[in-house]
Amino acid sequence: MRFSTKGRYGLRAMIDLAVYSNGEHVTLASIAERQGISTNYLEQVFSTLRKSGLVKSAKGAQGGYVLSESPSDIKVGRILRVLEGPLSVTDEDDENSAANESSIRKCIRINVWEKMNSSLNELVDSVTLEDLAEDYRKRNGIDNTMYYI
């Protein structure tokens, strides 16, 4: 299984948004610059993310994007499924129908593919956007403290 650039870049952009937003709108241009991703490509990715309800947008001088929920409530699996579709190591259509499935195919499906799918989905559903944003901050010495005057 390989994730497309849409999934990989989208996840990077969502982490960037979680790290740099602090409740304020972040422009796609700033995300694109920090992540080395085309702004035009991010527009397509964020259109999908917005339609799914993961981000909110605002137009105008102070416009940009914010997360629609707390980063601690957004699972990586949800982001990837929005951008990639169902997460599976094999394509269900590659196999014959279950009724015509040979015993070897069935054995492999049950003992390998289904277990891999289960483990993959369990993993991505156990990691939150906040987990990744916090790790990024620590690795890069980014202080997330907000100061009020």
Q: What is the mean pLDDT of the chain?
A: 90
pTM: 0.86
Question: Residue 149: its pLDDT value, please?
Answer: 55
Question: Residue 66: its pLDDT value, please?
Answer: 96
Q: How far apart are CA 83 and CA 85, in angstroms?
A: 6
Residue in this structure with the two tokens 């916090």, named with its chain if needed: 134
Q: How far apart are CA 65 and CA 46, in angstroms?
A: 9
Backbone φ and ψ of 143, nearest 5°: -90, 125
Beta carbons within 8 Å of 3's beta carbon, 6+ residues apart: 80, 84
- Say yes or no to pLDDT of 63 above 90: no
Give SS3 for 38. coil
Task: Name the pLDDT band for 61 (thresholds 50, 70, 90).
Answer: confident
Mean pLDDT of 107-126: 95
Enclosing H/E stretch for 8: helix 5-20
